[in-house]
Structure 1
Amino acid sequence: MQKALVVEHYIKKFFLQNAQGDDWWNSLDQALEGSKEGPNGGSLKMWYIGRQWTRQMGFPLVTVKTLNSTTVKVWQQRYKWDILLHYQTGKEIFGSKWLKREEPLYLNIGEGEKAVVVNVDRSGYFRQNYDPRGWQNILKQFKEDHEAVAEEVQDEKVLAEFSELH
């Protein structure tokens, strides 16, 4: 079911009625009909994901640490929820994996030092940070091809981080 149809269905169903908080998430679940994979490998349950967003304050800090030339470790701090993490390695390789609330995620980035950028499409609502080696790889990639990691250097805080790496 298309996004517009989901919203239309929800509005018609609860027109002139009181809707409960979970009614929206349940409508999304009906629309998905088990077509998307969730964090535990089964069907995605939007009511479960939605409760993580709406029943706690704040948002996660996602940290990326370079373990070696082929692997990075990704984990969350403070406010945590299951995140469908979109990431980029180097210039061209994009991927998506679930980062669970209480489990770190290990990403194989292939051979060689590459910039690893998470939340490349800005679809996740969280902050991200990188270890010094990760920032160095992002800076190197930025100097070679600024468009490949341009989203990562949008705000002054990140630019300040870059200036400290010289």
Structure 2
Amino acid sequence: MLNEIIRRIYESGEYAGIYANAEDTSKFMYGRIVAFDGEFFAASLVSPDGAFDGITVQDAESVVRIELDGGYSARMKKLMAGVYTEEKFDISCEDVRGSALEAAKKAGCIVSIELLGSGVSDVIGIVEDIDGGMYRIAQVNEDGSGDGISYISLDAITELGFASADERRIERLHK
């Protein structure tokens, strides 16, 4: 739907408000698109305080609105000035979901994974192994304790995130 706009924003490196919640169209995320494969995009997010707030990978079809250069963007640029440090992860435009999971594995980040459009984080944990589109995740609960193993097919993943404040909190508890 908005694929051409997403591609243009990716290519320009612009920061944008990205609305991807059809249930609540007032909710949005702010950041810049760092990879786009025509189906999924990865965005480097900025918190409301102007700090780096992780990576999200979402289906481009979920985007209902994109906002550029508004009052919120002006405020965020002020908040980001001098304090914002974006963390870089190697996410490929050939396979955004798969390469994002590989980047999280390499960095040792906790990942939150939504399956089949459920609307919740179905699996939270550390990517331990990748074998031909099958991912082994060592599950970690909200307390940071181990909580079993999940095997997930890449095709079942509809959204994922890592390196946000929420995942970092679980990482600190896990160590």
**For the superposition of Structure 1 and Structure 2, which TM-score range results when normalised by the shorter chain?**
under 0.3
Which structure has the larger Rg over C-alpha atoms?
Answer: 1
TM-score, normalization: structure 1? 0.27
TM-score, normalization: structure 2? 0.26
Higher helix share: 1
